[in-house]
Structures are given as structure tokens and as C-alpha cells.
Structure 1
Amino acid sequence: MTVHLVPGQNAPLPSRVLRFRAVDATPIDVSVLIVDGDLRALSSDHFVFYNQRRAAGVELDVDGTVLLRLDEVDAAAAGVLCVVSADPASPNGSSMLAREGLSATLADENDRALVVFDVPLVGSEAAAICLEIYRRGTEWKVRAVGQGYDGGLAELVTRHGVEVGEPAHPVVEEIPAIPGPAGIPLDPAHSFERAWMIFEDAARSAASFRSSRDYAQARLDDELSESVADPSTRNSPAVVHSQARAQERCAALVAEAQRKFDGETSQLADELRAVDPLLPRSLATFESSAWTKPVTGSAVTDGLRLGELSAPDLGELRVPFCVHYPVGRPLWIVGDPAEAAPVVAALAARMLVASPGAEQRLEVVDLSGSLRTFTEPLGALLAAPVVSSASDITARLTALSESVDLAEMAARSGIRDTLPEPRLVILGDFPHGYGAEDAARIVHLADHGPAVGTSLIIVGDSAAADSDPGVAVLERIAQQVPTSGVLTVSDPWTGNDWILTPDRLPDHPLHRASVLDSLTGQ
């Protein structure tokens, strides 16, 4: 039965004769390091690669398969590291391993696959340790590693105690984890793609760091368990010493992973600083010069920034979280209206500038007055006075629904020059003060509005969803953004969770006024 490993996971090996193979989307070389308990090569003769194909118990075939006879491996060896590296000298070769597609297999003497490990990479690595085959008493086990090295095979083997001269294949000393985009022109219509490329880089970097850290901890746990397996020696000085060494090895592995991750985080931060002034306002931070310089052109942007993503174990790493624009479903800002107001204002400001070629108009319901500091400076953009009385809500929603229906009829008839200008509808204090049928009208706006340029932001509490079917439908179809508590977002590349902190309109009065003035061209 084949076992599919994840980083740090180990498995027993039922066979002493093994075949190691690896495949990648780009040409690769396979090599092996025979190491001691500190993961240091026993000698340069214990490095098996394309220019030195044999060592005791290890043989590298010309087809890239490594044959391992574990009973013949040097008795001083604690383990064998199975390594892959990019082969830029081959046709279609690359100086880096492919971001996706690297898979390592360990088979028995009959070529039956025992373990498979799909190696997670950031995309900057030129070499990686796939598997560690290690002794445990008289038995052997295998552990998934997945540790990458940007400096290629030369860096990898040097860090494991092998002195190397000039490599047979050209190796880049330090391949940047993420290329800086400074000076690269951005197409405003494809800025969302750039933002998600940065998110993907961050997600893969974080996954690689966590994988390396988990591997180090799993290895430590395994070694500590092994050290106390014999009750007669578990309190001996030798065991205490071996445990201390195991702790040191774990700390060294984690420190190396942290060093690599910190470097990638620094490069990501540099990239974000470089690209922020080039982004359209709908995707830029409020500190960006995009909010103060004159707007040129009328290209429609394709993204909307909601906030920043972070994770407790990732230190200072922060990346923007953006969604496609136009937004195909309502945004529901969940929380107390007063607390939610800066978040609503930030989203609304970005939505109002997302289509500079077609100026949007505002329709606002604000019973509590929590949005007044946002709506009062934008009087020129209001399509109608702000609804401040509950008695006027139904009439406004009915008028909006009828307008959407007429716009749909005009669009179906091909009479596009009669379509109303795009509208951003903000429904504050929901569901308090709204009538029994108002939720159905809002659902109608949510279903039909986006096709004719009507976007929707709902502000308020979602607790009524438990008892009100209309509110429950809205809760189901809306993108909820809580203003308190924790909202986790799973990235689509590694499945790891991130915490979303929604953006807020600037606190400083002058900065806030500058942003709002830019919406009306002042």
C-alpha cells in the first residue's frame, strides 16, 4: 500500500532495498547525501551525484533512479538525504525547480511504490531535500522533508558539510524569491492578477516555512521518543546528551527556515512598496500616491482591496486581500454600525473609483447617522438624499428595484444609451427599521443589480438570520466582512488559513478629507 506523505510525516520502511525517483515539470538532477546524526555528510565521498555515482549502499543510474541497499550503507551513517536540483544545462532546463509538480517516490526492490511525497515549493528554489531515510534502532524509516534552497545544489551540500568547487551546472548564487516589479508598467485592467500573484508568493513562502518548521519538530519528537524507548537508559547522561543534541539540531533547522522566510518576507514587502504607487486606487493603500495624484485615463480596474492578511505565526508578513470587481454579490459589513463605519467608508471609497469612466452615484440608508462623516463630504455623488427615517426605507428600496428592472429591460432590448449611471447602494443599520418585505427587495437588488451596474453594501447585525428567512438568504449570498472578531481566509494554493483585517478610512482628519476630496475631484 502506497503512503502519501505530508511535510514532517514519517513512515516505516518494510524493505531494505529501495529505489528513489523524482519527477518535476522541468529537467532535474537527483543526488544523495549520506549523513551523520547532525545531518552532515560523512565525507565528500558520501555525496552521490552525476559526477560521482556510487558510494557504499547507494548507486545513481543514468536514468536518474537511485538504488539504495540499506544494509550496505556505511555503519557510521544515521541517514540518507534524497535530493533534487534544477538542471539548466538540459534542453528546456531552468535554473529553478518548478513551483508545482515536484513529486518524489520511494519504491521497493520489486518497484512497488511505498511512499509518495508531493514537495511544496515557493518557486524560487533551485534544489530541495525531498526525503530523509534514517535509522531507528535496527530499523529504517522515511520522513518527508521538502526543504528548498535558493542557491541550488552547491548551497544545499555546503550547508550539509560538503566542500564544493565550481559546479558542473551553472548555479545562481542567490536567486531572489520574488522578483521586484519596480518600474514595470501595470495594466489597470489586470491589477487584480498582480495582487493575487503577490498573495500566491506569500502563501507558498509561508507554506514552505511551516513545512520546514513542522519537519524539524517531527524529527525532534521522533528522536526524543527514541531516546527514552529503553527504560534502563532513559535517565543516563548519554541520553541527556543525545536529547540536547537533538534539540540543537531542531533549533538549527528552524533557524535556517526562519532565515529563508525572513528574506522572502523582506522581498515581498519591497515588492508591495514598489507596486503600491502603480496600482489603481481601488487596489492601492490609502497611503499610496495614487490617491493624491491626478487620475489619467478611464480604464476600468478589475479588483477591489478589502484589507490585509496575516497569520500569528508569520511575524510581520502582511499581504493585501483583494476580490474581483465588479463584485458579483453583496458585501455585508457585520457589526455595530458605528464601529463598522470606517470599514464601510473604505470599501465604498474604493468602489466609487473602480470605474472612473462611468461615475457612480450613491444611494444610502443611514438611520443611526453613523455614516454621516462619509456621506456629507460626498453630497455631489448622492443620487438622492440619505434615508434617515425607517418610514422611507421601503419606498427607496422599491424605487431602486424598479430602476434595476427597467435597466434590465433596456439592456435586453439593446437600448444601452438609456441605462442609468452605475450606483453604489449602502444599506446601513440592517435589519433594524426595515419592513417585513424589505429583505426580499434587497435580495432582488443583489440578484439583478450587478448586471446593470448596481453594487450593494449591507451594514449591520446578522443575528436575525436565525429567525427571518429573508435575512437568512442574504446572509447566505453575501460576502461577510466582520468588523470585530476573526475572519479566516483559506488561500487556494496551500489551503492555509489567514486572518483578514479589513481596511478602514484613515483616522487622521486631514488624511481622511484628502481621500474623500479625491472622490469628487476636489
Structure 2
Amino acid sequence: MTAELVRGQNHPLSQVRLTIRVSAGVPVLVGATLGDENGTVHGSPWVAHPGAPAPPGVEVSRQAVAEHRLAVDLDALPEAVHRVGVFLALPTGSAGPPRFGAVAAPHTTVESHDGTELACYTLTGLDTETAVIALELYRRQGAWKVRAMGQGYATGLPALLADQGLQDAGELAAAIQHTTAHTSAPFSLQAVHDAPAPQDSSAHGAPGPTGPYAPDRREHPEPAPSCEAQNPYDPQAPGAAPRATGAPVDYTHPRRPHSAPQPPPPASAAAGDRPAPPVAGDAVGWSVEERLYNQVWGMFEDLARSAAAYRSAVEFADSRLEKELDQVLADPRGRLGTEGDAAREAAHSRRAQLVDQARAAFDRDLAQLTAESDVVEPALSPAYARWDNPVWHGYRVPTEPPMALRLGDLHLPESVPLRIPMLVRLPLEQGLWFDSGPEASADGFPDPAELRHLAMEAAVALAARLLAVHPPGDFALHVIDPAGDGAAALGTLTRSGALAAPSATGAAGVAEVLERLTRRVDLVQMALRAGTPEALPADLDTARQLLIINDFPHGFDERAVTRLRYLADEGPGVGVHLLLVADRGDAAAYGPLLDPLWRSLLRLTPVCDDHLADPWVGHAWTYEPSLVPPGSQIVQHVLTEVARARTKRK
């Protein structure tokens, strides 16, 4: 049965040798971008388009026509490729339609090599777009899926390619359009069983992750491979066989020594019904830590897109029901009597069937992600793990800082049992703010004092985690508590010795701490700009600093507020970070003066609240802070180890 996809929905692929048919009604050019695990396309050889040697495993049409057939062999793709984006673009400089909204919606179908239809998607809702990513084939947990994209670009193919990370997007788009306009040879999908096998090669390097959410390349014993020298798509790269234009698709994997492609394993035919068992760390990365980080972000994205597909299907079913009911009411003969009742009942039945199908697909994805979470959570390091994870009981003080930190958990209303770790990169690029105001609780927390206490406990738990995951002496902690209201929550830090100096109280204490940290920021900035870090005073603590401020803005005058804003803006760049516990309503007297401060901080809540959005779909995710289980002494144990290691280091 063919899966009819809606925008954002994905579907598992039970075959690896595929044919993608595109029917557009008017001549269009079709190509494919090959991306790494983050979707980044590393240069023009990563784009399959007319007039260029086809990458291994991909064959596209040579001209702009109304009907296209693309051949793809997922097993033949180089290991660096994790995503294949199929794009459509209207030819330029022709008398054709100026935009996709002026023609019938293009239709795409994914078939197996024997012609069995696996999935289809109609690109509805297009308007001013002249280029669009229709489908995305992507690899997760060793299995491939297809996702309906429908992501259009009004400014055409240059914008589409630039969004994939190409530096020379404009030049490549112009070359594609020019080649298509001057190509008249008909396209034929040749047989692939007789394709010659290229020589085996093991020199292909996988490009490292890039992009706004991808980790930086860190120092590791193995050298980073050079994408330029070992580009798997470069016909002149080591191990890549030269290929003439118009030759059949080479479905032989470049790493395989045999001369003919092997048939897919028997289990692959049932991959859609029995997905591969999840494995912790099954993602690209230079270390186990980085692979787990990328895997968590992959789970986050998959859940966001699956939920978007489900919600979109429900909205479509509702709109279809409303339209059908309007049609019944518009006919006077159908408003009354059994005929009208039957029509309304049939409309509701069709709506329920569509919703049930969408829910079944979403539940399938949710079950897979839950199974993945069950193996990933126990494998997480302390920086990524919840406080109830057994990894904390075997805690050892680290010798180097982690690449990311867990701030809490995220979930959607449709996936309440499944929590996705909220990971942020270190060092922190912005300050943090635990909102202790009444708006922090969607249900209206009954006791404001208790809410403020919970906010301070959440801040202390986060500070303890930061201390625990850094080497001894690499992270220092300061606390401003003007009225002393946070003494109970701070007890864990003071008893363990993690808080070297007492909390600053009163206006004088606030001024002294802020002046000291402001001086540190100024000195480090000047030394770095001058290139003379050795000129820093000997008594200056060069470790990263975290300043916890409880009950802001109490105890702050205008001068202190100005210094705090300076620390929020300039501090993160030189290792000074803020963690505020505050009710924004208490600072209303300052008016718009503090608006830039609140905007510069990442808002967190001490109780569950749906105020965070993902970067892909924009869902409102419910945030849940990472708190210590009631009665647990694990934080006290961990901080005692931290204090002991710091003492030995001195």
C-alpha cells in the first residue's frame, strides 16, 4: 500500500534501490543535493544536476521536461552522505510559468526497483516559489526514510542551494540553468545490473558536521580528513572511477571489492515493519560524546517533524470535514431527512479515518523514538544525564570540560511519556534566567514564595552540574543573595565547600562582586586584544566564572544594573556567565531599561512550562527543569568529590 504523505511526514523505506518519479505538468529541471548528517552540501560535486558527472548512486535527468525519473541506490552512496534532497526548479529565460503557484501541483512518487510504489507526495500550497525541495531521503539508525518537504524558495535555485550551505550557489545555479537550456538529448534510465564496478577505495573521508547546531571539530588523536583532497564525489578523487556523461547509474558501493552489486539483505524488505534496533551513539561524530550529542539532536528533530506531520494531517481532515459539511448544508435537499444525516455521518467517518491513519504513523515514529531514548539515556555522560541516572553514582572528576550541558527535558503534548534532553553547547553563549514570577507556571502556582524557592533550587542544581563536569579549578562560582532568601537552597553548595566565598548580601556586597567581575572582563578583553595574555595580573582568576543572582533586582541600584547589563553582553566571550533567579514583574520600575537584559538571557522555568520553540517547525515545547530527586544525596556526594579534587590540585 502506497503511503500518501503530507508536508513534514516521513515514511520508512523498505528498499535501497529506488526510482523517484516527478510529474509537474510543465517542463521543470530536477536534481538532487547530497548532504552530511546536518544536511550541509560541501560544494558543487555534492549536487547531482544536468551536465555534471553523477555522484555514485544517483542519476538525474539531462533536460527540463514535465516527467522525470531519478534513480537512487542508497547503498551506493558514500558514507559521508546522510541526506538526499530532491529539488525542482522552473527553467529561467523561457516562456514558461513564472512561479509554481501558476501550474498544477507537482506530484512525486518513490518506487522500488521493481516498480512497487512506496510513498507519494503532492506539493500543494505553492505560490510564488520558483524552486522547491520536494523530498528528502535521510538516514537514521542505519535505516533510510523519506520525508515530504515542500520547502519552496521565491528567489529560485540560488536561494535553495545557498540554504544547503553552498558557497558558490549563484554560480552553480546559473550553470545548471544554462546546461538545461542547451541540453536536448532525451533521458533514458538504463539498466543498472551491467554497470561496471569502480575500483575499491577506503580513502573517502566523511566531512565533519557543520551548521548552526552542529558541534565544532574538537582536538582528537585522529587527524580530520580533508574534504577537498578526498571528496567522494570528485571524479579525480582517489578510488573514484571516471564516468562519462549519460552513463548508467553505478550502483556499486565504492568500498566493496566485488564486481557486481549485491542484492539487499533479506531483512531490508521488512525494514518498514521491523526497524533496526536502536543503538546508543549511532550518529556521526569525532567522539562518543559528540555522537551522543548529535543523536539527541536527531531525536529532537525527528519528533518535531513527526508531530508536525500529525498536526498537519489533523488540520487537513478538519478542513475537509468542514468543507463537506458546508456542501451538505448548501443543498436544501440534504439539510433534513435521512439523506443529510447519512452524508454528515460519512463525512465524520472519513475525517476519523484520516486522523486514525495519521495517529498510527505518529505512534509508529513515537515508539521508535521511545525505544531509542531507552538505550540512549543510560549511555549519557554526567553532563548529559539526569540526576537519577546511575552514572552519577560512579562519578569521577573529569580532566577536560564537556562539549555540551543538559539544562532539562523537552516534550510535546502528543508525546508526554517521551522526554528529549535539552542540550546546549559549552561554553555558554548567553546567560540563563530562571523565571520565579507567576507567569512561569501555566497553571498559576498557588504559593509565590514556594515558586521562588523552587527556582533557586533549580539554579543550584544547574550550578552543581556545571561545577561537576569541569576539571577542578576550571570553574568558579559566585552568589549574590541581597536579602539572604536563598540560604536554604544554597546549603548544598556551602556544606560541600563548592562555594568558596559566602554569598554577597546587601547593596555593598552586590557592588563589590559586580565590580570585581567587571574588572576581570575588562582586563581579559584588553589582554586578548593586545595578544598578551601573559600580562594579566597574577592574582586574577582566569577560570570560567558563574554568577548566581537571587531575587533580582532587589539590592541593585542604577549603577549595579548598568554593570550587570555589561556582564551580560561582554561576559560570555571572556568566561563570565550569568544565572539569574528573578521575577520580571519586580523590575517593572526600570521600564524598558532592562528589556535588552531579558532578551539576552535564555528563559527557563522551575516548573513545567511550554515557552520554548524548536528551530525546525517552531512547536511550543514544554520545558521541565533538571531537578534532584527528593531525598537524594547525589549532589552532595558529587560536590564533595569536586571540592576534594580542587584541594588536591592546590
What is the TM-score when the length of structure 1 is the normalising length? 0.68
**Which SS does the other structure have where 2:547 is aligned?**
strand
2:421 aligned residue: 320
**Which SS does the other structure have where 1:401 is aligned?**
helix
2:338 maps to 1:347: no
Specify which of 349, 352, 355 is matched with residue 254 of structure 1: 355
How far off its partner does 1:200 sit? 1.0
Quickly say closer, same or farther: Cα 1:387–1:152, change in 2 above 3 A: closer
In the alignment, the residues of structure 2 paired with residue 339 and residue 507 of structure 1 have an alpha-carbon distance, to the nearest angstrom, of 12
Quickly say closer, same or farther: Cα 1:91–1:514, change in 2 above 3 A: closer
Quickly say closer, same or farther: Cα 1:492–1:127, change in 2 above 3 A: farther
1:174 aligned residue: 271
Quickly say closer, same or farther: Cα 1:117–1:343, change in 2 above 3 A: farther
Judge conservation of contact 1:377–1:517 (CA < 8 Å) in 2. no
**Which SS does the other structure have where 2:491 is aligned?**
helix
Q: Describe how 1:78-477 pairs up with structure 2 within 5 A.
A: 88=73, 101=86, 112=97, 113=100, 114-116=103-105, 127-131=118-122, 172-175=269-272, 180-182=278-280, 187-188=288-289, 191-295=292-396, 298-335=399-436, 337-356=452-471, 358-379=473-494, 380-411=497-528, 412-415=531-534, 420=541, 421-468=543-590, 470-477=593-600
State the superposition RMSD in angstroms.
4.5
Q: Describe how 1:13-28 pairs up with structure 2 within 5 A.
A: 25=32
In the alignment, the residues of structure 1 paired with residue 474 and residue 431 of structure 2 have an alpha-carbon distance, to the nearest angstrom, of 20
Judge conservation of contact 1:26–1:93 (CA < 8 Å) in 2. no
2:491 maps to 1:500: no
Quickly say closer, same or farther: Cα 1:415–1:177, change in 2 above 3 A: farther
2:603 maps to 1:480: yes
1:489 aligned residue: 612
**Residue type matched to 1:128 in 2?**
A
How far off its partner does 1:508 sit? 2.4
**Which SS does the other structure have where 2:568 is aligned?**
helix
Quickly say closer, same or farther: Cα 1:507–1:261, change in 2 above 3 A: same
In the alignment, the residues of structure 1 paired with residue 78 and residue 575 of structure 2 have an alpha-carbon distance, to the nearest angstrom, of 48
Judge conservation of contact 2:279–2:375 (CA < 8 Å) in 1. yes
2:224 aligned residue: none
Moved more, 427-436 or 298-307: 298-307
1:51 aligned residue: none
How far off its partner does 1:363 sit? 0.7
Q: How many residues align?
A: 426
Judge conservation of contact 1:191–1:303 (CA < 8 Å) in 2. no
Quickly say closer, same or farther: Cα 1:207–1:117, change in 2 above 3 A: farther
Judge conservation of contact 2:464–2:635 (CA < 8 Å) in 1. no
CA deviation profile, 1:137-192 (whole Å, cap 9, x unmatched): xxxxxxxx99x9x9999xxxxxxxxxxxxxxx976323477972336595335654
How far off its partner does 1:430 sit? 0.7
In the alignment, the residues of structure 2 paired with residue 478 and residue 118 of structure 1 have an alpha-carbon distance, to the nearest angstrom, of 45
Judge conservation of contact 1:103–1:117 (CA < 8 Å) in 2. no
**Residue type matched to 1:436 in 2?**
E
**Which SS does the other structure have where 1:456 is aligned?**
strand
**Which SS does the other structure have where 1:257 is aligned?**
helix
Moved more, 417-426 or 387-396: 417-426
How far off its partner does 1:452 sit? 3.0
1:42 aligned residue: none
**Which SS does the other structure have where 1:323 is aligned?**
strand
How far off its partner does 1:507 sit? 2.3
CA deviation profile, 1:10-54 (whole Å, cap 9, x unmatched): xxxxxxx95698967489xxxxxxxxxxxxxxxxxxxxxxxxxxx
Judge conservation of contact 2:456–2:550 (CA < 8 Å) in 1. no
**Residue type matched to 2:533 in 1?**
G
**Which SS does the other structure have where 1:442 is aligned?**
helix
Give me the identity figure in percent. 28
Judge conservation of contact 1:483–1:502 (CA < 8 Å) in 2. yes
Q: Which runs of 5+ in 2 are unaligned?
A: 1-5, 9-23, 35-60, 111-116, 125-133, 138-142, 147-262, 437-450, 646-650
Quickly say closer, same or farther: Cα 1:210–1:25, change in 2 above 3 A: farther
How far off its partner does 1:361 sit? 1.8
What is the TM-score when the length of structure 2 is the normalising length? 0.56
How far off its partner does 1:428 sit? 1.0
Judge conservation of contact 2:406–2:424 (CA < 8 Å) in 1. yes
Quickly say closer, same or farther: Cα 1:308–1:172, change in 2 above 3 A: same
Quickly say closer, same or farther: Cα 1:321–1:63, change in 2 above 3 A: same
Q: Describe how 1:46-61 pairs up with structure 2 within 5 A.
A: none
Q: Describe how 1:28-67 pairs up with structure 2 within 5 A.
A: none
CA deviation profile, 1:202-259 (whole Å, cap 9, x unmatched): 1111112222222322333333333333112232423322332332222222222212
1:53 aligned residue: none
Quickly say closer, same or farther: Cα 1:211–1:188, change in 2 above 3 A: same
1:57 aligned residue: none
**Which SS does the other structure have where 1:494 is aligned?**
coil
**Residue type matched to 2:278 in 1?**
G
Quickly say closer, same or farther: Cα 1:383–1:449, change in 2 above 3 A: farther
How far off its partner does 1:98 sit? 5.5
**Residue type matched to 1:439 in 2?**
V
How far off its partner does 1:370 sit? 4.4
Quickly say closer, same or farther: Cα 1:357–1:514, change in 2 above 3 A: closer
How far off its partner does 1:265 sit? 1.4
Moved more, 222-231 or 258-267: 222-231
How far off its partner does 1:394 sit? 0.9
Judge conservation of contact 1:301–1:355 (CA < 8 Å) in 2. yes
Moved more, 257-266 or 415-424: 415-424
In the alignment, the residues of structure 2 paired with residue 330 and residue 90 of structure 1 have an alpha-carbon distance, to the nearest angstrom, of 45
In the alignment, the residues of structure 1 paired with residue 82 and residue 545 of structure 2 have an alpha-carbon distance, to the nearest angstrom, of 48
How far off its partner does 1:364 sit? 0.7
How far off its partner does 1:315 sit? 4.3
Quickly say closer, same or farther: Cα 1:256–1:515, change in 2 above 3 A: farther
In the alignment, the residues of structure 1 paired with residue 27 and residue 326 of structure 2 have an alpha-carbon distance, to the nearest angstrom, of 27
In the alignment, the residues of structure 1 paired with residue 378 and residue 485 of structure 2 have an alpha-carbon distance, to the nearest angstrom, of 31
Quickly say closer, same or farther: Cα 1:301–1:426, change in 2 above 3 A: same
In the alignment, the residues of structure 2 paired with residue 318 and residue 118 of structure 1 have an alpha-carbon distance, to the nearest angstrom, of 36
In the alignment, the residues of structure 2 paired with residue 423 and residue 401 of structure 1 have an alpha-carbon distance, to the nearest angstrom, of 12
Quickly say closer, same or farther: Cα 1:366–1:90, change in 2 above 3 A: closer
How far off its partner does 1:373 sit? 4.2
Quickly say closer, same or farther: Cα 1:340–1:315, change in 2 above 3 A: closer
In the alignment, the residues of structure 1 paired with residue 511 and residue 434 of structure 2 have an alpha-carbon distance, to the nearest angstrom, of 21
In the alignment, the residues of structure 2 paired with residue 20 and residue 397 of structure 1 have an alpha-carbon distance, to the nearest angstrom, of 66
In the alignment, the residues of structure 2 paired with residue 286 and residue 485 of structure 1 have an alpha-carbon distance, to the nearest angstrom, of 17
Judge conservation of contact 1:104–1:116 (CA < 8 Å) in 2. no
**Which SS does the other structure have where 2:330 is aligned?**
coil
Judge conservation of contact 2:433–2:580 (CA < 8 Å) in 1. yes
